[in-house]
Structure 1
Amino acid sequence: MSDDLVFYTNPMSRGQIARWMLEETGAPYRTELLEYGTMDSDAYRAINPMAKVPAIQHGDRVVTECAAICAYLADAFPDAGLAPATIDRADYYRWLFFAAGPVEQAVTNRALGVEVPPEKTAMMGYGDFDRVVDVLDGWLATHDHVAGGRFTAADVYVGAQVIWGLGFGSLPKRASFEAYAARLTEREGYKRAKAADDALIAEMQEAAG
């Protein structure tokens, strides 16, 4: 554990994405668990005024939002090789923020039952759900990883969206998605992160009776 890198999370949250990224870096970190209902405390709002997890504190720097955490950690721990060279980051940034923007918005709106009339799709940052899925499918059908021909921090965020989407039915079962998820879930960093969060969830459920 390390007090230089602190991870604020709840295992039943998007904090699972940040933990996976932390495990991929190999850097030591300390975990601070927050229960739902306690995140609005003054102490935690000083870390994240949005009163949600995850967040990381690295020295005197605080980073929130999963995509930003992934990108930051890749740069903060370059020896892990989780970001392409600066001149090769076009696809890296493109797909990292495609997942954080259009994919997140399209999936969330569909889950909430938001129906966008065809004539209003131009007002939406993502257009419509089917187009988002088709675009992501088209890329992953021809690329084992989203950028640079190898695993990067962008795969943590995009991969988390795909793995979650397949597991909970918020994304359709496309062959490219299933193959991509299968590759990523075999990574040791993913397995360590998942085991840690599953253990914490079990402890929380046992404590709750």
Structure 2
Amino acid sequence: MASVNDTQAEYVAMVFPDHPRKHMDKHLRPYKCPVPNCMVNNFATSGDLKRHHREVHGNPSFVCPNTSCKRHRKGFSRRDNLVQHMKRTHNQDEQDVDAMHASRLTEAVIRSSYEVTNETAAVGEQVGVLGVSVASVATLTSDLDVSSLKKTHLTAKLRELEIERVKAQKAMAQFDGDIAALKRVLSIM
């Protein structure tokens, strides 16, 4: 006589002929987080476990650009979470986030190029514009063009300034509204 488990296995194999094990994994949840003291339930797929590990235990790669925000240090593991945070907390849209991120990346590239240049300049290399040694940059990557690096940085800076201008215009409009409201209140008194 067939056991209950055998009957269930036959049923699962019949209903899910292509992936009976995948179906059973949804019930058995065999993938466990390897991080000690992690209290999350087991996962049905290895992809779910990888996502959990990346989002919960991984290093955040998207940080809030506002230095006074707690998420400036804590950050987010996913870009869409940063975008939602910026909309909800700082009233900025996705283009603002992209422009700030591009600007910060450009600054990081220039800063790292500058640091490498300063190290190699001590040996006697000639340091060029922006403190970037043409020889040291060429050794890092042959197709990195210093002028395109400057252009990228300036473009990102332009975007950042345009964003700041829009913010200032919004703030001025709000100030104008506040002033008009106070004038109305004073005229009533």
State the TM-score, normalized to the length of structure 1.
0.27
Higher helix share: 2
